[in-house]
Chains A and B, each alone.
Chain A
Amino acid sequence: MAFSAEISRTNPTCLLFLVDQSKSMDGPFGGEEGKKKSEGVADAINRLLQNLVLKCAKADGVRDYFHVGVIGYGSEVAPKLAGTDAQQPLAPISVVANNPLRLEQRKRMVDDGAGGLVEQAFRFPVWFEPTAGGKTAMNGALTLAKEVLTDFIATYPDCFPPLVINLTDGKPTDANPLDAAVALKALKSTDGNVLMFNAHLSSSPAPPVCFPSDENMLADKYAKLLFRMSSILPPKLMGAARDEGFSIAGPARGFVFNADLVAVIRFLDIGTRVAAPR
């Protein structure tokens, strides 16, 4: 059965993030008042990486269940994660965990165990700062992603299929990225095809949409393009999405509009999860 390969240190899978850093990302983010899209993307990628690290963190360190890369596309198309470069575009998650740009001191309210709330300080890792400049070379990013994943699958041919997560405002300027997305999704390990998810951050304040099955639910033509580029959730991930409380109907796609994709990280099965939301 596809999408059933065990994710382990000897058989890791890959998460490749494509991050739109183009000029248009300087515009306002409809999903959160007072925020730019570039800030929305930076926040999303930092939270995705944080969740991924936490998933793999044990008392004795971080286990390399995942190899991770981030390809930024704006003024240039290039690997952007500390510890990666054009020759080594992926890093084991343990390297990512230990190399944030900085740790921010933040505060949050938590249950005090007696029916009230108490303020708690915590350290939030920042790997990405908001950036906006240049064109939206999404097609170039997808082409580079295909090269990166071709090499990864050659090294780990039996891996759980790699995931590509594209965070963008959806206005490609180099070429129509649909064909490049189709080519990327055609890559496969023995366990199934590469999955492509898209997180669309729009200036429109339209309500968030998660894992839709019909593009007519989407008002924006760029959202529709990203919807078409997104993989249909395989049955196993559809079940995981339902377990996380998403309402899934029909052939749902790995697409969210003005919403975060952190749930996708929780879909990845490396063992028993703790249901408490984060």
Chain B
Amino acid sequence: MGWCAVKAMNASPLHWRSFLVPKDGHTPEECEDAVAGDVDLGRFAVADGASESFAAGEWARLLVDAFVFTGPVKNWLTRPREDWSKAVTGQAVSWYAEEKFTLGGHATFLGLTTRMTDDAIEWGAVAVGDACLFHLVAGACLSSFPLGRPADFNTSPALVGSKGGTPAWKTARGFLRPGEALLLTTDALAQCLLTTAEDRAFAGPGLLCLDEDDDFALWVAAQRMGGKLKNDDVALGMLEFVPDADEAPQ
């Protein structure tokens, strides 16, 4: 995936697009956020590799891919944990890399599963840390999960580790109806969106108007310049229930 990517699948009532923009001053390869989604599988995810952990971007990418393409089955973290160890083995040569490898990679995570019902799409979300889901109805923010206020963010969120441990999962459920949308974002954009919601100028609907990677990158640059968006990697996935589509999702 490039530094800013868009996927569009229009043969379903679900319309999915995703974007990734690195922190200002960082190269695309240094981006430690990840986003993945598959309309046919009905699963979507974002993750944010913790800056101070080892090979965090690699871990974030493995996490979102495992969730989307394997699904949250029993022990679904085992495979990405093994893959992370394989991918970074051999990189830990210096004393500091060895030490950080021992501690593992860490990331916040938000995963979304969907299932078609008669007149709506039932969704379920799981989250660790401060990556957030926003439910947009008629241009307003109906709900956000797992955080609800801009003041809820800090630099030590709960994390999923590559070296084991049982993450403190939070869960939420809901229904997506025609014309509604879900946004999956990592922390910087989530905090920005919650701030705009508190200021009664919710920026979510504006994001839904963006289709091209350049448009999103420009939007991010403008928000950063205006001091409304912290300079951090940004991942965004947008899932819309488009009423006029030809074919229902699985």
Contact = CB atoms under 8 A, between A and B. Distances in A.
Contact of B159 (A8, A270, A271, A274): A274
Contacts of A272: 48, 50-52, 106, 108, 155-157, 159, 187
Contact of B164 (A57, A113, A123): A113
Interface string B32-59: 0000000000000000101111110010
A201 interface: no
A206 interface: no
Interface string A242-278: 0100000000000000000000000001111111101
B97 interface: yes
Interface size range of chain B in the complex: 20 to 34
B206 interface: no
Interface string A46-76: 0000000111011100100000000000000
Given A270-B51, A273-B52, A274-B50, A125 B95 contact: yes
A137 B13 CA distance: 75
Interface residues of A, number: 32
Contacts of B58: 59
A270 B156 contact: no
A246 to B, nearest CB: 14
A57 B96 contact: yes
A236 B88 CA distance: 35
B99 interface: yes
B102 A120 contact: yes
Contact of B95 (A59, A103, A120, A273): A103
Contacts of A123: 95, 98-99
B25 A274 contact: no
Nearest to A104: B95
Nearest to B158: A275
B231 interface: yes
Contacts of A210: none
A271 B25 contact: no
A53 B155 CA distance: 19
15 contacts: A57-B99, A58-B54, A58-B55, A59-B97, A97-B96, A122-B102, A123-B99, A125-B95, A240-B155, A271-B51, A271-B52, A273-B50, A274-B50, A275-B156, A275-B159
